[in-house]
């Protein structure tokens, strides 16, 4: 939901990794439940925390104002921090350690964050708090009836409970913006297959146009990497099979039945390297924070831009006259395989040690009321997670509106723990060509060897 320097696995990876590494705050496991009163005569402060996104924060503040008007004597304290430079994980840890927050934004852990006990992996951060009963089970809250139970369970579920409400979903991995007028100028249509995409890139390059813009300084080259991987792993499989497929993949990596040396990952690497051969030469120095604005301003260059759908409204605001769209980058050979990859995003939790649980639930009820939620979606460009509230149609969402229903959740990486070297769970794309000197084959072998050793195969 925020413009940030990491995604999931791109935009959120750093924030999630930092949160996952945070130790469980001392004494939390012993805390019990506390419920506050919403009586109009009381003087209370409801503390809400979320990561920074100007449009989302502004819309949340409008809900806050409504809430304060309906609850005389209650003041809302909204705390925010960007996901860049470890700011959000630092604020998160501070609030959790001090037990000083009532409604807390989370990146959904999804079932992948709770590996079987047989692995010996002990979750940290958000999953640890859920496992130890630090977040309220929202299963029976009245506002949860507005949402799809299966999607909420996937995002925030553990055992028989659902410990938060997911209110945002975006296309991160595979996400690509495109400039319609540049494609039209050279007689090109929106590519639907990998071959068509490469053909378009060749044509654009021959015309003196720099085909791709990538925020390589902050790791956005992972968008095509994971986009291709998702599409090749899913292929002809129905979208509904994705969650089970990712769980089986994690089990296979753990058992040694699957490895980074498998052909599908070599194919991913070959396609990734080919696509990025068309990127801007200085991509390694492009920061994510300024990339949407720079891309928007260059109306006659950079026809394609790897980024998540959360930046669509930012691009539109930066250059209102730009005729652009958003799509899933086609990394596979069959058009039907190139579906949008969906990332569960902003989810709200209420800690069991909050002194204002009743107020917190009333705030969530107001936030998720259809009119308020529809306005929030329009402001942020999020895909709706409330079935009765349609995803808003914006000038740049025509492709997404036509294909969002075909989407499926992101591939989950193999189970790892803090004892695993980082490269065991994912190749280091800063060292791998074209950003580094390491060949894709060597990068995949390094990752495979590291995982094999750490998992004890």
User: What pLDDT, on a 0 to 100 scale, did the predictor assign at position 311?
Assistant: 92
Query: C-alpha distances in angstroms, 211 versus 190, 199, 205, 229, 300?
Result: 13, 11, 6, 22, 11
Q: What is the CATH number of domain 13-170+344-393?
A: 3.40.190.10
- Give the mean model confidence (pLDDT) for residues 233-254: 96
pLDDT at 160 over 70: yes
Q: Where are the domains of the chain?
A: 13-170+344-393, 175-342
Give the residue-averaged pLDDT of 176-187: 98
Give the CATH fold of the 175-342 domain.
D-Maltodextrin-Binding Protein; domain 2 (3.40.190)
Q: Which residues contact 248 (CB under 8 A, 6 or more apart)?
A: none
How sure is the predictor about 312, in pLDDT bands with cuts at 50, 70 and 90? very high
Q: Kindly state the percentage of the chain with pLDDT values over 90.
A: 86
Q: Which of 227, 232, 221 is nearest to 266 (CA)?
A: 232
Average pLDDT, the chain: 91
Say what the pLDDT of residue 62 is. 98
Rounded distance between C-alpha atoms, residue 330 and residue 196, angstroms:
8
Residue 454 clears pLDDT 60, i.e. is over it: yes
Give the model's confidence band at 260: pLDDT under 50 very low, under 70 low, under 90 confident, else very high: very high
pTM of the model: 0.87
b/e 246-282 (16+ beta carbons within 10 angstroms → b): beebbbebbeeebbbeeeebeebbebbbebbebbbee
Q: Is it true that 13-170+344-393 and 175-342 share their CATH fold?
A: yes
């Amino acid at each position: 939901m925020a413009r940030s320097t990491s995604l999931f696995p791109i935009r959120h990876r750093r924030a999630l990794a930092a949160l996952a590494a945070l130790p469980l705050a001392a004494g939390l496991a012993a805390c019990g439940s506390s419920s506050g009163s919403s009586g109009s005569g009381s003087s209370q402060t409801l503390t809400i925390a979320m990561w920074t996104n100007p449009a989302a924060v502004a819309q949340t503040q409008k809900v806050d104002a409504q809430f304060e008007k309906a609850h005389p004597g209650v003041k809302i304290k909204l705390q925010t921090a960007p996901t860049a430079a470890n700011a959000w994980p630092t604020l998160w840890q501070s609030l959790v350690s001090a037990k000083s927050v009532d409604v807390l934004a989370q990146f959904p852990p999804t079932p992948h964050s709770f590996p079987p006990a047989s692995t010996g992996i002990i979750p940290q951060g958000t999953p640890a708090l859920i496992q130890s009963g630090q977040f309220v089970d929202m299963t029976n809250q009245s506002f949860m009836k507005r949402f799809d139970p299966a999607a909420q369970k996937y995002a925030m579920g553990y055992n028989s409970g659902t410990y938060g409400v997911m209110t945002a979903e975006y296309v991160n991995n595979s996400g690509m913006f495109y400039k319609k007028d540049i494609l039209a100028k050279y007689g090109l249509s929106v590519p639907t297959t990998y071959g068509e995409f490469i053909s378009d890139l060749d044509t654009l390059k021959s015309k003196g146009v720099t085909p791709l813009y990538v925020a390589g300084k902050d790791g956005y080259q992972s968008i095509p990497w994971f986009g291709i991987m998702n599409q090749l792993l899913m292929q002809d499989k129905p979208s509904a099979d994705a969650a089970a497929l990712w769980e089986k993949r994690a089990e296979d990596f753990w058992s040694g039945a699957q490895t980074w040396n498998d052909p599908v990952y070599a194919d991913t690497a070959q396609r990734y390297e080919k696509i990025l051969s068309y990127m801007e030469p200085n991509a390694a120095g492009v920061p994510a924070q300024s990339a949407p604005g720079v891309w928007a301003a260059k109306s006659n260059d950079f026809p394609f831009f790897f980024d998540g759908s959360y930046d669509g409204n930012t691009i539109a605001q930066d250059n209102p006259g730009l005729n652009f769209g958003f799509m899933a980058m086609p990394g596979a050979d069959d058009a039907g395989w190139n579906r949008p990859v969906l990332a569960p995003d902003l989810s709200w939790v209420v800690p069991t040690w909050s002194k204002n649980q009743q107020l917190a639930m009333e705030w969530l009820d107001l936030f998720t009321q259809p009119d308020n939620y529809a306005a929030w979606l329009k402001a942020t460009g999020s895909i709706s997670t409330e079935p009765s509230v349609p995803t808003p149609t914006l000038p740049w969402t025509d492709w997404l509106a036509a294909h969002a229903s075909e989407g499926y959740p992101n591939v989950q990486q193999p189970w790892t723990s803090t004892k695993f070297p980082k490269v065991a769970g994912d190749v280091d794309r800063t060292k791998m060509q074209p950003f580094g000197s390491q060949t894709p084959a060597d990068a995949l072998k390094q990752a495979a060897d590291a995982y094999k050793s750490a998992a004890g195969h």
